[in-house]
Amino acid sequence: MNKITTVLFDFDGTIMDTNSLIINSWQYTFRTIEGKERPEEEIIATLGEPLALSMKNLLPNVPVEQAVEIYRKYQHGNFSDEINIYPGMLELIKKLKKKGYKMGIVTSRMTGTTIQGLEKYGIRDCFEAVVTCDHTEKHKPDPEPVNIALKILGSKPEESIMIGDSKFDILCAKNAGVKSVLVGWAVAMSGEDREGEGAPEHIIENAEDLFQLIENDWSRLKTIGAD
């Protein structure tokens, strides 16, 4: 069994709780364009997708560039105030760094705000690779973002894991031949999504579970937090 050497993290909904920020940004966009808000379920269903794709699907009659500009206007003014790191993640990332694991970020977010979030909590230097939507034309669930991160880190897929909160993260990992872990606090992945082709190999209920998972023999562990 290959020893885990590399840990890849999604950003939104995995390391950082950006759910309120994203929902508020969308509602601001809807209010600006349509004069009213929409049900939150419509927004939650897009979590993990590239923003431009979501805009095209939810606002098909509005130029994507126009809608994205409105959305990002809200985010630029409220980003730092409306994001929080999930409990235990700060300690986990620092512990993994100290233990010598190679770490990367693989996200559909833009580079600027991704770096801003990492710097807010002093963990930018923990990640040798930060792959965002700016670095690839193909996005999750295509394996290209993970493949780019692995190339930067000099890592093999069979020695790597990807932690995320959406079906796009899990499928991206699987398509790249990387082990997949779903965070139990995910709101972007329903019970149905957690089964079948998009099922993660493991589910963690808290950050410390991830450390225990990769420090032990992966092949002998049962899914943490799953029935």
Q: List active site positions.
A: 10
Spatial CA neighbour of 106 closest among 96, 114, 97: 114
3 state DSSP class of 61: coil
The crossing angle, in degrees rounded to 10, of helices 64-82 and 51-58 is: 120
3 state DSSP class of 148: helix
**Pairwise CA distance, residues 90 & 158, whole Å:** 26
Going 51 to 57 to 59 to 61, the CA torsion angle's sign is positive
Phi-psi region of 100 (alpha: psi -120 to 50; beta: other; left: phi over 0): left
3 state DSSP class of 8: strand
Separation of CA 208 from chain center: 18
* Calculated CA dihedral for residues 147, 226, 197, 165, nearest 10 degrees: -50
Q: Where are the alpha helices (DSSP H) in 45-166?
A: 51-58, 64-82, 89-98, 111-120, 144-153
Q: Are strands 16-17 and 84-85 parallel, antiparallel or unpaired?
A: antiparallel
